[in-house]
Amino acid sequence: MGTTALRDGDEYVLDGEKYWTSNGVSADWIVVYARTGEGAGHDNYSLFVVPTDDPGYDPEEITGKMGLRASQQARVELDGVRVPADNRLGEEGSGFYNLARFFNYGRIAVAGHGIGIAAAALEEAWAYTHDRELYDESVADNQTVQHRLVKMREQFEAARALAWTACERVMDGDDPAFWASLAKARTTRTAETIAREAAQLHGGEGLRTETRANRAFRDAKYPSIYEGPNAVQRDIAYGHWPEE
């Protein structure tokens, strides 16, 4: 992690680059995770609230994304950006732990993102296969297609149930690291599977970027990556396995 924040009196001086910064071009403030100590330990990182009108703040929007185009991300260069020490969130060296707590709850929201994409893809698959006629009957009259739709619904309902369970368990005070990671891994994988199947059921129409099924197919990859890929989620879930 190359971005640094060096203490200079009552200020910190930030230097480095950040990628995939949400709203990095349009926001008035962003939160920056930066190294404030030496070594690889978790105690060497801190969080800072950074104004985007500083002369050393230089954002560039990331374009050409295959999906999630309604969300604006940016590459941000920080060149001698000065912020007051009061802009540090928490104690110096607490950044990793604060960020981990944020992710523990944020990943449940990512699970909801996966469920939303899966729901949209499933709706499109159902509508298209019932509206599309082939040889004087709808595509959905084919038993194989019916079975594929039912399998998609099975996967969707199982993933949604886990997402709700994760919400309930965290609200009841259970370890959010386990439940959020478990829900994110399952729901986002399900979103990819259902979106891919929905695009396939659309045939050639599924290749057109104008269709909602194609959009779901492209968007489905994102929640399985951001806030930690699913392999990392399984590592976290294993490490926080509840003793029941």
Active-site amino acid positions: 227
**3-state class of 13 per DSSP?**
strand
Return the number of other C-beta atoms located less than 10 Å from residue 202's C-beta: 23
DSSP string for 210-235: TSHHHHHHHHTTSTTTTTS-HHHHHH
* Beta carbons of 17 and 78 less than 8 angstroms apart: yes
DSSP string for 30-82: EEEEEE-SSSSSGGGEEEEEEETTSTTEEEEE----SS-TTS-EEEEEEEEEE
